[in-house]
Amino acid sequence: MSARTASAALVCSLAGVCAAETAPSEAVSAGVNAQRMPSAGGGSASVDWVQVSERRVVTAGASVANVGASQWTLIKGSLARNREKGLSWFGGLDVGPGSNGGERFTFFKAGFGVSAPLGARWRVSAEGTHVDVEPVTGDVVTLAGETNRASGLGLRLQTSSSVSGTLDERGYVVRLDYRAKAPYLMGGFATTRTNNRLSLGASATDSSALRVHQAFVGVSFPLRRTALTVAFEHGKAGTARRTGVSVVVKVPLESTD
């Protein structure tokens, strides 16, 4: 789980893009992210179409990023089948061209996972992800546990580790949520050791492992017909300080019925 992957997942969760809702709906979600770091300043932008029903979430979209000497453009898609009291599954694909210091590469990431209830209050999940971002390639296994209480408080514990290839990565995430009523709140801490340093401005030939620590906070609230999410992160990548901000606007689409 790279630093940018962790940020995207956290904002996605808070914005409600990745979670099922009670009534079928469609929406367009647009987001921007900016990071400040010595030799690796930059940002990204994305647009996603989201279809949510009681048991299924479908997304399709595209994103562009420019960080340091690296640029890449991705086409994205995901599908999740949710069953509150049974086995659920989810999968996603990100693919597209990129360049680093003038050297072209292909970005490819594909993942599939399952989740199941554990007792009355917890849900656990396991996911396998294949990452191919030249010259780094390999597979990552992610294990997570999540609980949501009637009070609106939620807790997610997550660990991930590379298991094959040239990818050398291990990460941990602790996230707290409050979703009883708007504004929804989120905060936590993530730490990652990885040699997939594309989002940290590394050159194409630099595949040494780097440890990244980041604390994050976010808030999501309704704004007229839209839902606005803002998240901030601050930490270190090696000895360098890294700060970032993400903004996501989710606009519901009118029903054609």
CA distance 15 to 8: 10
Q: One-letter amino acid identity for 2?
A: S
pLDDT digits (tens, 9 = 90+) for 10-65: 555 544 444 444 457 899 999 999 999 887 789 999 999 999 998 899 999 999 99
Residue 201 predicted with pLDDT over 90 = no
| Fold type of domain 3-252 | Porin (2.40.160)
Q: One-letter amino acid identity for 114?
A: V
Q: Name the pLDDT band for 170 (thresholds 50, 70, 90).
A: very high
CA distance 175 to 138: 26
CA distance 244 to 235: 9
Residue 218 predicted with pLDDT over 70 = yes
Contact 243, 236 (CB under 8 A): no
pLDDT for 20 equals 40
Q: Name the pLDDT band for 141 (thresholds 50, 70, 90).
A: very high
pLDDT for 4 equals 46
Residue 204 predicted with pLDDT over 60 = no
CA distance 117 to 103: 45
Percent of the chain with pLDDT over 90: 64
pLDDT digits (tens, 9 = 90+) for 83-131: 878 999 999 999 999 998 788 999 999 999 999 999 989 999 999 999 9
Give the residue extent of every domain in the chain.
Answer: 3-252
Contact 15, 250 (CB under 8 A): yes
Segment 131-151 shows an average pLDDT of 92
The C-alpha torsion from 246 through 247 and 253 to 254, rounded to 10°, is: 160
Quote the pTM value: 0.86
Contact 227, 16 (CB under 8 A): yes
Q: Which two tokens stand for residue 147?
A: 């609980």
